[in-house]
Amino acid sequence: MTNEETQGRPSRPTLNAPHIAQMALALIDAEGLDAFSMRKLGAALEVDPMAVYHYFPNKAALFDAIVEAIYTQIDTSVAVAAEWDEAVATYMHAMRNAMRAHPHALSLVATRPVNTAPVLVLVEVLVARLTRAGAAPTEALAMVNCFGTFTIGHLLADVGAPVGGPEGPPPDATILDASAIPTLAAAMAAGWVFDPDAQFDLGLRAMIAGFGAHYGLRDPN
Amino acid sequence: MTNEETQGRPSRPTLNAPHIAQMALALIDAEGLDAFSMRKLGAALEVDPMAVYHYFPNKAALFDAIVEAIYTQIDTSVAVAAEWDEAVATYMHAMRNAMRAHPHALSLVATRPVNTAPVLVLVEVLVARLTRAGAAPTEALAMVNCFGTFTIGHLLADVGAPVGGPEGPPPDATILDASAIPTLAAAMAAGWVFDPDAQFDLGLRAMIAGFGAHYGLRDPN
DNA sequence: ACCTGAACACCGTTCAAGT
DNA sequence: ACCTGAACACCGTTCAAGT
């Protein structure tokens, strides 16, 4: 007999680690990382704040679980079909899309390494694809690392929530004259619009092409 | 008559924004971002914790000042002489070196944009160099953005302090069998050693070369 | 095993006040 | 203008206790 059956109202499901992590991520998505607290998490779970400490030793361990939850949301099936360089690009776009859904958790993803089995399997998929294009395993691993850090770094600058509180207005309306930054001024005059998606794709493909040339990668025929 | 002259002992210099930011950065470098607090900053400055609020509206604004302080420590004079691709590589290595000195502040650098004049001038240097190699201003700006986000993303994963508390041990000794990750296992067997500096240089030069080919960049002769 | 609740040692920031 | 100090509404985590 479960709790729901003995009592009339299904007040809450039994606690477990993945569910706690999901709830924590939902709170962070909704309110931001700074507004998140173990006490609010307890309230959202309709449980004493200390109850979560039975499943996670501390807040940091909970954050690790959140990062893994985000990684495992990546759909890696996209990286199979196409040419090697297209496969890499598609894979990294999939990773970017999964992470883009959680701007307030990006700083966690960027700084909390995860070496759990599910994430390693995720890495394996792309590394294996690169070796099939002619890279040595160690070379493939280095490339994947560079693709990943670029993706996360770009995403952080694009939509990442500022660590340490919301950003305020620029510290004074320092009107700087265009003569000090002529090239930047020229870019503005040329109608520069910041298109993060296009820019990411551009940078990603530049790196892919550069690696491809460096290592002589190509698909076997 | 300064405070030092009227009293026998020069207990502390007068407060000012840059000095406060430097002290805050020193505390963050020494103890970490989580251990940093406005109260400890006040203590380090030998002043009431609330005194800093006369120079910064809140902690977030202080963090912005810290990020700018780190950016302005970059030595941009290195980007002048060589070929365009060498100039870019040298510039980005200089940026990386400046940021590498502050692992606990990297998450701030990665997520708190700075648009103050000194930083824009920093950007101008590299953007201008790229236009001299044949890039349009808007293209140069996009490239610099990609170089920067890769550099910061790679650095975060390399030495960045975890946001949200120190990382604990992996959640259980999940011995995953090598058959699930054969390529990763092969890389380990091949004596893979993680060399962040070499890997960064490799990825950076791949991106530089890829962009160079894409835009047909070359130095004028 | 799983959850509670009080307690400890902290936080950032407000506000009114001092000089 | 520059700094103080009390007060408010919070934190994460410990510990002993309940079931």
Q: Classify domain B77-160+180-215 by CATH number.
A: 1.10.357.10
pLDDT value for B3: 39
CA B40 – C1' C15 distance (Å)? 21
Which of the two residues, A177 and B68, has the higher pLDDT score? B68
Asked if the model's pLDDT at residue A98 lies above 90, the reply is yes
The CATH 1.10.357.10 domain(s) of chain A lie at 77-160+180-215
> Are the beta carbons of A216 and B216 closer than 8 angstroms?
no
Contacts of A206 in chain B (CB under 8 A): 146, 206-207, 210-211, 214
Percentage of the residues of chain A whose pLDDT score is greater than 90: 82
DSSP secondary structure of A115-182: --HHHHHHHHHHHHHHHHTT--HHHHHHHHHHHHHHHHHHHHHHHPPPTTS---S-SS-----GGGSH
In the predicted structure, residue B5 carries a pLDDT above the cut 70:
no
pLDDT at B173: 54
Least confident of A166-175, A191-200, B2-11: B2-11
Q: Which among A57, A153, A168 is the nearest to B57, CB-wise? A: A168
- Tokens 């390529």, located at residue: B183
Residues 6+ apart with CB under 8 A from A48: A42
Distance from CA(A48) to C1'(D17), angstroms, rounded: 14
Residue A31: its H or E element: helix A17-31
Protein-proximal positions, strand C, CB < 7 A? 2-6, 10-16
Burial of B40 from C-beta contacts in 10 A (0-12 / 13-18 / 19+) = middle
Indicate the Cα dihedral angle B146, B148, B150, B155, nearest 10°. 180
Cα–Cα dist B140/B172, whole Å: 47
Of A106, A154, A181, the CB nearest to B120: A181
What is the reported pLDDT for B106? 98
pLDDT at A173: 54
Task: Name which of A6-10, A104-108, B54-58, B166-170 the model is least confident about.
Answer: A6-10
- Chain B residue numbers with beta carbons less than 8 Å from the beta carbon of A35 are none
- The CATH number of the domain covering residues in A14-69: 1.10.10.60
- pLDDT tens digits along A61-96: 999 999 999 999 999 888 776 899 999 999 999 999
Token reading at A24? 């924590």
- Residue B6: pLDDT over 70: no
Helix then strand then coil, % of chain B, to nearest 5: 65, 0, 35
- Point out the nucleotide closest to A53 (alpha carbon to C1′): D13
Task: Indicate the pLDDT class of residue A12, thresholds 50, 70 and 90.
Answer: low
What distances in angstroms separate CA B164 from CA A60, A100, B167, one per listed residue? 6, 19, 9
> Measured in Å, how far apart are chain A's first and last C-alpha atoms?
61
Q: Which of A113, A124, A171 sits opposite B181 (nearest CB)?
A: A124
Q: What would the mean pLDDT of A189-216 be, rounded to a whole number? A: 96
B44 sits within 7 Å of strand D by its CB: no
Q: CA A55 to CA A36: how far, in whole Å?
A: 18
Mutate to test the interface with A, among B88, B122, B141, B199 (most CBs of A within 10 A): B141
**Three-state DSSP class for residue B35:** coil
Å from A127 to nearest chain B CA? Answer: 7
Q: Is residue B38 classed exposed, middle or buried when 0-12, 13-18 and 19+ CB atoms within 10 A define those classes?
A: middle
- How distant is the Cα of A50 from the closest Cα of chain B, in angstroms? 18
Contact A157 B162 (CB under 8 A): no
pLDDT at B10 over 70: no
pLDDT number for residue B175: 62
Q: Which residues of B touch A137 (CB under 8 A)?
A: 183-184, 186-187, 190, 192
CB of A199 nearer than 7 A to strand D? no
pLDDT range class, residue B50, cuts 50, 70, 90: very high
**pLDDT over 90 percentage in chain B:** 82
Q: pLDDT for B162-185, tens place per residue? A: 999 998 776 655 667 788 999 999
- pLDDT confidence of residue B59: 98
Contacts with B3 (C-beta within 8 Å, 6 or more apart), sequence order: B10, B11, B14
Tell me the C-alpha distance between A171 and B154, whole Å.
Answer: 29
pLDDT score at A221 = 75
Residue contact A61–B168, C-beta within 8 A:
yes
- CB contact under 8 Å between B187 and A141, yes or no, is yes
pLDDT in tens, A14-53: 899 999 999 999 999 999 999 999 999 999 999 999 999 9
**In the A/B pair of chains, how many CB contacts fall below 8 A?**
287
Collect all residues of chain A within an 8 Å Cβ-Cβ radius of residue B206. Answer: 146, 206-207, 210-211, 214
Provide, in whole angstroms, the distance separating residue A16's CA from nucleotide C5's C1': 21
Q: Is the CB of A60 within 7 Å of strand D?
A: yes
Q: Which two tokens stand for residue B46?
A: 């030998």
> Measured CA to C1', what is the nucleotide nearest B48?
D4
- Is the pLDDT at B143 greater than 50, yes or no? yes
Is the whole-model pTM more than 0.75? yes
* Nearest residue in chain B measured CA to CA from A56: B171
Distance in angstroms (rounded) separating the CA atoms of residues B57 and B18: 14
pLDDT at B4 over 90: no
pLDDT at B171: 61
Residue at the smallest CA–C1' distance to nucleotide C3:
A51
| Greater pLDDT, A78 or B216 | B216
Instruction: Look at residue A6 in the predicted model and tell me its pLDDT.
Output: 39
Name the segment(s) of chain A with CATH classification 1.10.10.60.
14-69
**Contact residues on chain B for A129, CB-CB shorter than 8 A:** none
B50 touches strand D (CB under 7 A): yes
Q: Which pLDDT score, from 0 to 100, does residue B8 have?
A: 35
pLDDT score at A14: 81
Determine the pLDDT at residue A82: 84
Please answer yes or no on whether B110 and A163 come within 8 Å at the CB atom: yes
Least confident of A16-30, A105-119, A170-184, B35-49: A170-184
